[in-house]
Structure 1
Amino acid sequence: MAEPGARQLMENVKVRIGIGIAALVWLVLALLAGQGFSQVPLRIYSIAGTIAALAFALWERFIWKWKVVRYFTGVPLVAGTWRGELVSSYVHPNGESVPPIPTAIYVSQSASKCTVTLFTGESKSISEHAKLIHDSDGRWRLSWQYVNTPRPGVRDRSVRHKGAAEAYIGFQPSEGLEGVYFTDRRTDGELRFSEWSSARYSSAESALAADGFNRTSPFVGDK
């Protein structure tokens, strides 16, 4: 059985931290106000709640990414643009297979959610649901369901469709992301991404032509 996903793990940590922060703030403010625990003014509860809410917001956007935090949670950091190729199982009517397609994906990641956008020269896929999953063998995978919208010039042979994909996150920087996909058009294939950039790109052309891509280390402790 798979271990809890990244979202559940991060939510558990976030709730515990929030409760601890709220309790600590309430205690400090009560002591500073010189009030007994049974006579704490309502405004102190309000201030403690506001500070806890701010801490939650900072956790969601920033704190969870810190290496010292991820050292304990183990959650990989995969946000950014990945560059590689898509290998389709589709075979043309004349019997020829499709050559590997240069592909890029952009991953947006916060403490509680992910979004994945995949680009090729002919289409764009945007995730409807995406999540990180921690498997029982210790590996992490990024799983998402998407809607693919081809460019107008190719819609005579490629229609809008839905699909699902997942990519395992390699423990070593050279392993990158590797996975599979399938569509409601009854096609499937493989995904391979070995290069990474922290920059965001809005098209396959710009991402595939850009400099500054390298190999990333999604796990704390990698070199």
Structure 2
Amino acid sequence: MAKPGIGKVMDGIKVRIGIGIAALVGLVLTFLAGQGVSQIPLRVYTIAATLAALAFTLWERYIWKWKPVRYFTGVPLVVGTWRGELLSSYVRPDGSSVPPIPTAIYVSQSASKITVTLFTGESKSVTEHAKLINDPDGRWRLSWQYVNTPRPGVRDRSERHRGAAEVYVGSQPGEGLEGAYFTDRRTDGELRFPEWSPVRYGSADSALAADGFSTATPFVGDR
């Protein structure tokens, strides 16, 4: 049975942080004002709530990425553009197979939310639901459901469709992301992304032609 995903793990941590901050701020301000706990003014609660909300925002956007924090949570940092290939099981009417398709995905990641956008030369997919899951063996996998929209010029042979994909985050530098996908067109295949860039690309053409990619290092100890 899989362990909780990134959202549940981070939500639990945020709740504990918020409660701790609110309680600590309330007590500190109360004692500084020389009042008993039963006489805490409303403005103290307001200040405590404001600081807790600020802490939540900082955690959601920045703090969770810090290496010491990720050593504690174990959550991999997969945000950025990944480059590799898609290997489809589709067999053409003439009986020939489809050669590997150069592919890129852009992953947007915060403490509680993750999205995946996949690009090829002929189509683009948009995430409907995505999550990072920690398996019992300690590996992390990125799983998402998507809607794929081909370019108008290829829709005579490639229709708009839905699908799901899942890739495992490698445990050693250079392993990148590897997994599989399937679609409601009854096709499936493999996904391999050994290269990574922190830059956000908006198309397959720009991502596949770029020089700024390096060996993938999404692991807690690497960055």
What interval of TM-score do these two structures reach, taking the shorter chain for normalisation? over 0.9
Displaced runs of 4+ in structure 1, greater than 2 A?
A: none
TM-score under structure 1 length normalisation? 0.98
Q: One-letter code of the match for 2:127?
A: S
Q: For the aligned residues, what is the CA RMSD?
A: 0.9
Q: Secondary structure at the match of 2:105?
A: strand
Deviation at 1:28, TM superposition (A): 1.2
TM-score under structure 2 length normalisation? 0.98
What is the correspondence of 1:20-169 to structure 2 with a 5 Å cutoff?
Answer: 20-169=20-169
Deviates more, 1:13-22 or 1:118-127: 13-22
CA contact (8 A) 1:172 1:222 kept: no
Task: Flag structure 1 segments of 5+ consecutive residues without an equivalent.
Answer: none
Q: One-letter code of the match for 1:164?
A: A
Q: One-letter code of the match for 2:91?
A: V
Deviation at 1:222, TM superposition (A): 3.3
Quote the residue 2:207 is aligned against: 207
Identity value in percent? 79
2-structure distance, mates of 1:7, 1:45: 27
CA contact (8 A) 2:175 2:216 kept: no
1-structure distance, mates of 2:20, 2:99: 55
Q: Secondary structure at the match of 1:175?
A: coil
What is the correspondence of 1:9-20 to structure 2 with a 5 Å cutoff?
Answer: 9-20=9-20
CA contact (8 A) 2:82 2:104 kept: yes
1-structure distance, mates of 2:144, 2:98: 24
Deviation at 1:221, TM superposition (A): 1.8
Task: Flag structure 2 segments of 5+ consecutive residues without an equivalent.
Answer: none
Deviation at 1:216, TM superposition (A): 2.7
Quote the residue 1:2 is aligned against: 2
1:71-129 Cα offsets, whole Å, 9 max, x none, are: 00000000000000000000001110000000000000000010000000000001100
CA contact (8 A) 1:147 1:160 kept: yes
Q: One-letter code of the match for 1:65?
A: K
2-structure distance, mates of 1:211, 1:181: 27
2-structure distance, mates of 1:22, 1:122: 51
2-structure distance, mates of 1:91, 1:47: 63
Deviation at 1:31, TM superposition (A): 1.5
Quote the residue 1:221 is aligned against: 221
1-structure distance, mates of 2:99, 2:3: 37
Quote the residue 1:184 is aligned against: 184
1:128-183 Cα offsets, whole Å, 9 max, x none, are: 00000000111000000000000010011111000000000001121100000000
1:2-28 Cα offsets, whole Å, 9 max, x none, are: 111121111111111111111111111
2-structure distance, mates of 1:7, 1:182: 24
Q: One-letter code of the match for 2:50?
A: T
Q: Secondary structure at the match of 2:4?
A: coil
How many pairs are equivalent?
223
1-structure distance, mates of 2:198, 2:15: 29
